Amino acid sequence: MSPLLVSGVADLHVHGSPSLVPRHGADHEVVGAHARVGIDLAVLKAHEGSTAERAALAAGRAETGGVQVLGGIVLNSPVGGANPDAVEVAARLGGRVVWMPTVSAPAHVASAARPELAVHRSLSFRQVDVLADDGALLPAWQEVLDVVAAHDLVLASGHLTCAEALVLFRAAHAAGVRRMLLNHPRMPFLHWDDAAAPEFARLGVVLELGILPDILTPDGPRSTTLGEVYPHDQLAFGGDLGHADHPTMAQALPGWLAELEACLGEAGTERALTTVGRELVLR
């Protein structure tokens, strides 16, 4: 599958500017560049807060090349962490994804000096706790889950560890959330555990296959190998590209795509790139 012949790709993890982190270009420029390699659905993500408004603006620009642009909200400290009102507003403005804390996540704060987090060295926020000392989800998050369920949004794990995400998704499923995404599961600081895979799969959690996480961990476990331990029809593409110091989609996709095909095969790769993510974020 040549990357120049790929079409109908859904990328659930796209970074553009404005941002406190250097990016390749503004939202519409990054999305437009994605369009030239066959991406026709892009979900904008910003650690600083909401991209629901930004997605609406980018979608109306000719430079995006006809890509369907969606947004959401990241629940870091700048938006108040567990803030159901912020989620409600993002949803009513068309947002589709709610990310749990990323830069504010306890695991990120504790691991900020690790090499795989070098892209965030210039960005730090106050910690936002998710679990209580006994390992249970803090009560403040329950209302967030209720809003996610009411609007049928996607709940994404952000930078929660594998163990934390399992607690979150159990509670989310009990609250009626049916669209769940585990972000960059094989990033070392998030401590992926193969033993958790069956329960994630039973809960219906989709795992994200990401290019930038694999670039940042050249000697570590690759997201492209998740198909060895997880159902192929629950794997979706979230490139996580856009950082100015790392490759563009056009530069990074060919080699990464070959790796993915080696694990999933051509049919599995095509489904992960084109179908699973689209079904996850679209009603």
Alpha carbons within 13 A on the beta-carbon side of 192: 21
The Cα 217–Cα 6 span in angstroms is 25
Kindly list the domain boundaries of the chain, sorted by start residue: 74-231+247-282
78: tokens are 């700048």
Distance from chain centroid for Cα 122: 20
156 pairs with which residues across the strands?
Answer: 99, 181
- pLDDT on residue 5: 52
Torsion of CA 173, 177, 180, 182, to 10 degrees: -50
DSSP 224: G
Kindly report the pTM of this predicted structure.
0.97
247: tokens are 């490759």
The Cα 258–Cα 276 span in angstroms is 19
- pLDDT on residue 251: 95
DSSP 71-131: -EEE-SGGGTSS-HHHHHHHHHTT--EEEPPSTTSHHHHHTTTSGGGGGGTT--------B
**Residue 132 identity:** A
Strand ranges for the chain from DSSP E:
9-14, 39-44, 68-70, 72-74, 97-99, 154-156, 179-182, 206-209, 235-237
The Cα 144–Cα 160 span in angstroms is 16
Query: Residue 152 — left, alpha, or beta (φ > 0 → left; ψ -120 to 50 → alpha)?
Result: left
The Cα 56–Cα 114 span in angstroms is 35
pLDDT average per 10 residues of sequence, the chain (283 residues): 70 98 96 95 98 95 94 98 98 98 98 91 95 98 98 98 98 98 97 98 98 93 95 97 95 94 94 97 95
- pLDDT on residue 25: 97
The Cα 69–Cα 122 span in angstroms is 27
